[in-house]
Amino acid sequence: MDTPKTLAERKKDIQFLMKYAVPEDQVEAAYALLEKYDADIIALNLLHSFYIHLPEGTDDSVNGLRLLTRRQGVFLICVSTGRGFHYLYVVNNEAAHIIGTLAEGIIDRELLDFFGYADNKEVLALTKEPEKLQVYEPYAADSNLCPSCHAAVGEFHTLGCPVEICPWCRGQLTYCNCRFTRLDIESMDKVAQIEKLRELLEEVGRIVFKKEHSPGYPTMDEE
């Protein structure tokens, strides 16, 4: 199934999948949760991943999302289900992937390092009581997250995010021509070019996300 281009399309796909996945006695709670998060691409990507690949291969539903941590627009979320299971998912604005059960924690060293955990023991200690984890709140336009890549204030955008500011001209990095002139190319379609751009940005100093960078953020004249 192709990745939808809009929130509405993603929600529609989830609703279709739920018809065949959600047990009758869980329908009301499952659809209420979908409505709660229907404007949040992170949650919608997660729900889509869950329902298209049911972890246990049997009918179930999501009845709770809890946030462990997030970094650089990547979220670590605990999914609780109607059958009493708990799973860990890693999610961004493009896709969601299951890590495993909450009881297993995280054994991948790269993931542990990325999220700043010393080891899996730390993860298991933090998640031994899932009901006490912070509820994942749906995205709000006035939040401290980038509306496109979901980087937090003070973090770097995902490279390619249309909200990122160009450090050379102070325009939008994906719309100005600086990336082409700096690399002396006419198009950017190779991984090596993207990595070279990343190096140049880091050398000159990438601009971290600030709330006022968000499209539609009020200026002094508008306040």
- pLDDT per residue, tens digit, the chain (223 aa), is 455 568 899 999 999 999 999 999 999 999 999 999 999 999 999 999 999 999 999 999 999 999 999 998 999 999 999 999 999 999 998 999 999 999 999 999 999 999 999 999 999 999 999 999 999 998 876 678 888 888 889 999 988 888 999 999 999 998 899 999 999 998 888 889 999 999 999 999 999 998 888 775 444 334 3
Instruction: Please tell me whether residues 150 and 126 are part of one structural domain.
Output: no
If you search the block for the tokens 């700096």, which residue do you land on?
Answer: 182
Cα(138)–Cα(130) distance, integer angstroms:
19
> 165 and 103 share a domain?
no
Residue 159 is part of which domain span?
A: 145-223
- Pick the last residue of a domain from 114, 135, 156: 135
CA distances from 112 to 104, 116, 136 (A): 13, 6, 20
Q: Which two tokens stand for residue 194?
A: 């993207």
- The Cα 197–Cα 157 span in angstroms is 14
- Look at residue 40 and tell me if it is in a domain: yes
| Tokens found for residue 7 | 């929130």
Angle subtended at Cα 195 by Cα 193 and Cα 198, rounded to the nearest 5 degrees: 110
**Structure confidence at residue 223 (pLDDT):** 37
The two tokens of residue 221 are 């004249």
Residue 102's closest CA among 120, 115, 82? 120
What was the pLDDT predicted at 142? 64
Residues ≥6 apart with Cβ < 8 Å to 87: 50, 55, 78, 79, 81, 98, 99, 100, 101, 102
Q: Is 179 part of any domain? A: yes
Task: Verify that 157 and 213 share a domain, yes or no.
Answer: yes
Residue 1 falls within a domain, yes or no? no
Whether residue 140 lies inside any domain: the answer is no
Q: Total structural domains in the chain?
A: 2
Tell me, yes or no, whether 27 and 111 share the same domain: yes
Asked whether residue 107 falls in the same domain as residue 160, the answer is no
Q: Kindly give the interhelix angle for 7-21 and 41-52, rounded to the nearest 10 degrees.
A: 30
**Pair (31, 107) in one structural domain:** yes
Give the pLDDT score at 215.
72
| Domain co-membership, 36 together with 82 | yes
Residue 147's pLDDT is: 85
